[in-house]
Chain A
Amino acid sequence: EVQLVESGGGLVKPGGSLRLSCEASGFTFRNAWMSWVRQAPGKGLEWVGRIRSKTDGGTTEYTAPVKGRFTISRDDSKNTLYVQINSLKTEDTAVYYCTTELVDLFDYWGQGTLVTVSS
């Protein structure tokens, strides 16, 4: 059974940093392309960025509002996906989900971790 468990969220001041993790199980993580999607409170879904498998180059893409501030990485030895978030802004307040691309886009989702940016 595919499982994705996010962690690392919390309350951070504007300008601060945070690293979110997503521990994966139930599939061959090293072969999977993974994404982060976020959802601001009471709002819709926004794709944040994606990382390919190392076999496919391990490259990343990001949506414009987070480019330069967010860095997605992976540790295949730990079956874990990360996103390092720097220079946090109040508009980054959201639940952050990790999601898989096993059969097409976003087929499995974690339960999410809440990031609150407030002074």
Chain B
Amino acid sequence: DVVMTQSPLSLPVTLGQSASISCRSSQSLVYSDGNTYLQWFQQRPGQSPRRLIYKVSNRDSGVPDRFSGSGSGTDFTLKISRVEAEDVGVYYCMQGTHWPWTFGQGTKVEIK
């Protein structure tokens, strides 16, 4: 199985500052159709996961433009600019290129 490794696992941030989460895959996530199926999800405390980003850098409808995704091959990053209190939660990357689809361990974002 493809292993998705996130870092850091815990990320204390100051309100208004930026935060970055790294996600590395054990294999390239480029699919045979040329797409890279790397998604990012946010899970606020007590809530269901919510997709933020799909195919590396495509922001979902309603997601603030403070969230951005980048990367290629095996290295990916989620950046949160100007962190707000509502951004507290756990963030997961997930690959949908290789069976079985796999998630990272999660990165807990909290306010300092």
Name A's B-contacting residues (CB within 8 A): 37, 44-47, 61-64, 97, 103-107, 109-112
Q: A106–B48 contact, CB under 8 A?
A: no
Residues of chain B within 8 A of A105, CB atoms compared? 37, 39, 54, 94, 96, 101
The answer to whether A110 touches B54 (Cβ under 8 A) is no
- CB pair B105–A112 under 8 Å, yes or no, is no
- Please name all residues of chain B whose beta carbon is closer than 8 Å to the beta carbon of A61 when the two chains form the complex: 99-100
- Count B-side interface residues using an 8 Å CB cutoff: 22
Total inter-chain residue pairs, C-beta < 8 Å: 54
Chain B residue contacts of A111, Cβ below 8 A:
48
CA distance A47 to B94 in the complex (A): 10
| CB nearest neighbor in B for A65 | B100
Query: B67 contacts the other chain (Cβ, under 8 Å)?
Result: no
Task: Give the residue of A44, A64, A103, A104 whose beta carbon is less than 8 angstroms from that of B92.
Answer: A44
Closest 3 pairs (CB-CB, A-B) = A104-B54, A63-B100, A105-B96
* B105: chain A residues within 8 A (beta carbon): 44
Set B54, B96, B99, B103: member contacting A45, Cβ < 8 A: B103
